Amino acid sequence: MIKLIVTAIVILAAGYAGWLFLGVSGGLLSKKSPLVLTEEAMTLRGVRLTQKMKNKEDLELVAETASVALDESRIDMENFTVVSYSGEYGTVIITARRGTLKNPEKDIYATGGVLARDGSGNALITENAQWINASREIHTDDQVRVFGERFTLTGKGMTAKMDDKTVEILNDVNAVFFPENK
């Protein structure tokens, strides 16, 4: 479980790094508001960005649309997937209906059916998640479901601290563990 959450944090941070090369800062998009862009905006449709490190594919971002609002310093994405091919957790995939990159804070907000999966089959499902860069945490107030081959955890609200490698499901915690089949 901790491995999955740390993986989710790593991929959200990697998603930020992938957007950094655009040279754009980010702002905040309300979870409930539609995309509202000023005249100084650029909207890209059918976006696919690939970042390579040492001649190997490191990060891939695919989005139906990405709207860059220079004056509000944000990038708003719709129907996006971020795939990280590196790291100790293998390939990690995060998908969500909407996301916002906010700078200079380097925070990321993912909303609408957030799903994070690692190469081991562990997954995190929630409606909204935030990567708070200053404290290096992922947080949600929504219902969460974290599961893998031998466990399922559910609850309401979650905080995962990358530096401490800790996960706390805040309320209504239910845990089911399955014995190993030999």
Is 169 inside any structural domain? no
Q: How many CB atoms lie within 10 A of CB 21?
A: 9
Phi, psi dihedral angles at 118 (to 5 degrees): -110, 175
User: Which residue, 72, 95, 93, is CA-closest to 84?
Assistant: 93
Is 23 inside any structural domain? yes
- pLDDT band of residue 75 (cuts 50, 70, 90) is confident
Domains held by the chain: number = 1
pLDDT at 71: 62
Is 146 inside any structural domain? no
- pLDDT band of residue 123 (cuts 50, 70, 90) is confident
Range(s) of the domain holding residue 89:
2-29+44-133
Is 149 inside any structural domain? no
CATH number at residue 25: 2.60.450
- Please calculate the CA angle 73-133-55 and round it to the nearest 5 degrees: 85
For residue 104, is the peptide bond before it cis, meaning its omega torsion is within 30 degrees of 0? Answer: yes
Is 163 inside any structural domain? no
CB 143 within 8 A of CB 127: yes
182 vs 118, which has greater pLDDT? Answer: 118
Is 138 inside any structural domain? no
CA separation for the pair 146, 1 (Å, rounded): 7
pLDDT tens column, 158-178: 988 777 777 789 999 999 999
pLDDT at 176: 95
Q: Is the pTM of this model over 0.75?
A: no
Is 114 inside any structural domain? yes
Structure tokens at 143: 């219902």
